[in-house]
């Protein structure tokens, strides 16, 4: 009988002994992988949070830089005004410059003044500076690592909402074609002219108790709304307060369509909520055009609906916010007023040659004196020129300065309304966004 001998130096190893280390190694590997994944996720989360904070810090820094740059624009405009000691100062608009060549731009307001004397040279520099600011109003000019846009406007080029007569307000609302839509179940919707009723409602809004006029909205109408409120019974503080007056809509206040940027044409407090930056608006417009093309290709929508959309797109109307003010007197600066404001003034609105008078005034400005403006108007209609003497002026002392600054993609705006008092200024309003 044979017996297998076991070596002295070797001992039998149970079968389960060599399996245990392999199981432990697998568990350790899983633990290492789990810890690695956890650390990686923590690192990614920390990286994302740090990156977001860096982006936020950069945006905050650019916001502050843009705000400081915009404030410097206000100071720069005031420095120009302080340097300009003339009684008559003309601030050209971009539209005015489009009708003039470069040679005329260099002598705006002076009509070819001789620049041989130091004073005339200084005036020429100031006028070229005003023209440069008007040309760069939309895109700005390079300044201190960013871009800066400065606009100087005479508030007397707008109609004073607190001093305008009922006839002036009704004429303006009628000229702009303000209306409201009445809906019917059986027949099509009807647009109703609200110029007279709206003018009376504005008069009642600013009138004290006991002086309300019939025909306009009364306190009972505003108390019946949800939520209820009462009219101010005093002067408007802002043109945007018109939104509280009966029948006034955002389209009436901001225009249809709003073809201007929110921070360029309107005051900071006049920007309608929900407006997007220009790039986003452009993107939306492109999307709308794409969707319209898709609808046309797919054959959806009737031809009548397409024609109605085209008519609505072609219709454009400036907003009241760009035509009204709450500062200054009720005289209108013919050098700064738009054709819409000139068209509704006494002597022009009721003249059969009103449109020709406005065209002549715009084509021949700037006027350095009231008689010059009346002389141009008299060549069209003598009677109208005689009535214009009650409200015409060629310069004003209440100015609106708006400075917009860009640092990178960040944009800030500062706006102020100042009263010129000799060589100094008094701020009537100051806002920044």
Which tens digits make up the pLDDT trace of 192-229?
788 899 999 999 999 888 788 888 888 889 999 989 99
- Residue 245 near residue 217 (C-beta atoms within 8 A): yes
298 pLDDT band, cuts 50/70/90, is very low
**CA–CA dist 234, 209 (Å, integer):** 10
Asked if 101 and 187 sit in the same domain, the reply is no
Domain's final residue, options 199, 231, 256: 256
Q: Return the sign of the alpha-carbon dihedral for residues 228, 232, 238, 240.
A: positive
Task: Report if residue 319 sits inside a domain.
Answer: no
Asked if 374 and 424 sit in the same domain, the reply is no
**How many Cβ atoms from other residues are within 10 Å of residue 315's Cβ?**
10
**Predicted pLDDT of residue 317:** 80
Asked if 78 and 166 sit in the same domain, the reply is no
Asked if 147 and 218 sit in the same domain, the reply is no
Asked if 231 and 167 sit in the same domain, the reply is yes
* Mean of pLDDT values over 244-264: 73
Task: Report if residue 71 sits inside a domain.
Answer: yes
- pLDDT of 336 over the 80 cut: yes
**CA–CA dist 323, 320 (Å, integer):** 5
**CA–CA dist 416, 414 (Å, integer):** 7
**Predicted pLDDT of residue 375:** 93
Q: Which residues contact 396 (CB under 8 A, 6 or more apart)?
A: 154, 155, 156, 157, 328, 331, 333, 336
* Backbone phi and psi for residue 239, each to the nearest 5 degrees, phi listed first: -60, -30
Task: Report if residue 199 sits inside a domain.
Answer: yes
Task: Report if residue 366 sits inside a domain.
Answer: yes
**Predicted pLDDT of residue 395:** 87
Q: Which residues contact 263 (CB under 8 A, 6 or more apart)?
A: 271, 404, 411, 413, 433
* Mean of pLDDT values over 18-40: 76
270 pLDDT band, cuts 50/70/90, is very low
- pLDDT of 294 over the 70 cut: no
- Residue 219 near residue 230 (C-beta atoms within 8 A): yes
Asked if 426 and 354 sit in the same domain, the reply is no
Three-class secondary structure of residue 336 per DSSP: coil
Asked if 146 and 86 sit in the same domain, the reply is yes
Domain count, the chain: 3
Task: Give the domain CATH number at 248.
Answer: 1.10.40.60
314 pLDDT band, cuts 50/70/90, is very low
Asked if 194 and 229 sit in the same domain, the reply is yes
- pLDDT of 325 over the 80 cut: yes
Task: Report if residue 184 sits inside a domain.
Answer: yes
* Mean of pLDDT values over 349-353: 87
**Predicted pLDDT of residue 10:** 56
- pLDDT of 379 over the 60 cut: yes
What 8-state DSSP symbol labels residue 4? Answer: P
**CA–CA dist 67, 411 (Å, integer):** 8
* Mean of pLDDT values over 258-269: 43
**CA–CA dist 337, 334 (Å, integer):** 5
Domain's final residue, options 256, 281, 296: 256
- Residue 378 near residue 353 (C-beta atoms within 8 A): no
Select the highest-mean-pLDDT range: 126-140, 186-200, 293-307, 403-417.
Answer: 403-417
- Residue 411 near residue 65 (C-beta atoms within 8 A): no
**Predicted pLDDT of residue 3:** 53
Paired strand residues for 403: 150, 414
Asked if 68 and 138 sit in the same domain, the reply is yes
CA angle, 293 then 296 then 298, to 5°: 110
Asked if 422 and 382 sit in the same domain, the reply is no
401 pLDDT band, cuts 50/70/90, is very high
4 pLDDT band, cuts 50/70/90, is low
Domain's final residue, options 240, 256, 272: 256
* Mean of pLDDT values over 71-89: 88
315 pLDDT band, cuts 50/70/90, is low
**Predicted pLDDT of residue 187:** 63
Task: Report if residue 105 sits inside a domain.
Answer: yes
31 pLDDT band, cuts 50/70/90, is confident
Greater confidence, 245 or 186?
Answer: 245
Three-class secondary structure of residue 154 per DSSP: strand
**CA–CA dist 187, 190 (Å, integer):** 9
What's the mean per-residue pLDDT of the chain?
78
Task: Give the domain CATH number at 412.
Answer: 3.30.1300.30
Greater confidence, 173 or 184?
Answer: 173
Three-class secondary structure of residue 334 per DSSP: coil
- Residue 432 near residue 421 (C-beta atoms within 8 A): no
Domain span at 242: 161-256
User: Of 64-78, 184-198, 233-247, 329-343, which range is least confident?
Assistant: 184-198
Number of Cα atoms under 13 Å in the Cβ half of residue 344: 25
**Predicted pLDDT of residue 180:** 80
Greater confidence, 181 or 104?
Answer: 181
Asked if 154 and 63 sit in the same domain, the reply is yes
pLDDT by residue (tens digit) across 105-153?
Answer: 444 444 444 455 777 777 788 888 888 898 888 889 999 889 999 999 9
User: What percent of the chain is modeled with pLDDT above 70?
Assistant: 73
Task: Report if residue 61 sits inside a domain.
Answer: yes
Asked if 136 and 184 sit in the same domain, the reply is no
CA angle, 425 then 416 then 368, to 5°: 60
Greater confidence, 433 or 164?
Answer: 164
**Predicted pLDDT of residue 122:** 77
- Residue 427 near residue 401 (C-beta atoms within 8 A): no
Task: Report if residue 250 sits inside a domain.
Answer: yes
* Mean of pLDDT values over 266-294: 39
**CA–CA dist 184, 318 (Å, integer):** 28
What radius of gyration do the chain's Cα atoms show? 34
- pLDDT of 1 over the 60 cut: no
């Amino acid at each position: 009988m044979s017996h297998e001998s076991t070596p002295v130096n070797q001992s039998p190893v149970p079968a389960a002994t060599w399996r245990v280390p392999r199981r432990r190694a697998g568990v350790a590997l899983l633990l290492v992988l789990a810890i690695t994944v956890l650390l990686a996720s923590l690192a990614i989360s920390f990286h994302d949070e740090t990156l977001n904070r860096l982006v936020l810090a950069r945006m905050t820094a650019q916001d502050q830089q843009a705000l400081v740059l915009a404030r410097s624009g206000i100071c720069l405009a005031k420095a120009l005004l302080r340097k300009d000691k003339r009684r008559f100062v003309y601030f050209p608009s971009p539209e005015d410059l489009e009708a003039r060549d470069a040679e005329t731009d260099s002598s705006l307001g002076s009509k070819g003044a001789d620049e041989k004397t130091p004073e005339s040279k200084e005036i020429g520099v100031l006028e070229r500076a005003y023209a440069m600011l008007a040309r760069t109003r939309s895109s700005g000019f390079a300044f201190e690592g960013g871009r800066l846009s400065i606009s100087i406007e005479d508030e007397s080029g707008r109609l004073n909402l607190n001093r305008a007569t009922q006839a002036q307000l009704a004429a303006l609302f009628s000229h702009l074609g303000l209306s409201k839509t009445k809906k019917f179940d059986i027949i099509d919707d009807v647009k109703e002219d609200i110029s007279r009723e709206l003018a009376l409602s504005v008069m009642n809004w600013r009138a004290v108790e006991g002086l309300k006029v019939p025909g306009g909205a009364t306190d009972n109408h505003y108390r019946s709304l949800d939520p209820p409120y009462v009219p101010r019974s005093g002067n408007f503080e802002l043109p945007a307060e018109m939104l509280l007056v009966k029948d006034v809509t955002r389209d009436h206040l901001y225009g249809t369509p709003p073809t201007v940027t929110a921070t360029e044409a309107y005051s900071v407090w006049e920007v309608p909520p929900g407006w997007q930056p220009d790039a986003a608006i452009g993107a939306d417009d492109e999307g709308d055009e794409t969707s319209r093309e898709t609808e046309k290709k797919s054959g959806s929508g009737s031809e009548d609906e397409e024609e109605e959309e085209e008519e609505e797109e072609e219709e454009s109307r400036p907003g009241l916010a760009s035509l009204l003010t709450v500062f200054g007197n009720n005289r209108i600066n013919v050098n700064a007023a738009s054709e819409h404001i000139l068209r509704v003034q006494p002597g022009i609105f009721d003249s059969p040659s009103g449109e020709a008078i406005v065209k002549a005034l715009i084509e021949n400005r700037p006027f350095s004196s009231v008689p010059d403006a009346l002389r141009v108007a008299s060549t069209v209609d003598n009677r109208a020129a005689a009535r214009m003497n009650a409200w015409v002026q060629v310069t004003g002392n209440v100015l609106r300065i708006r400075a917009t600054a860009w640092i990178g993609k960040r944009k800030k705006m500062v706006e102020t309304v100042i009263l010129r008092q000799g060589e100094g200024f008094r701020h009537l309003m100051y806002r920044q966004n």
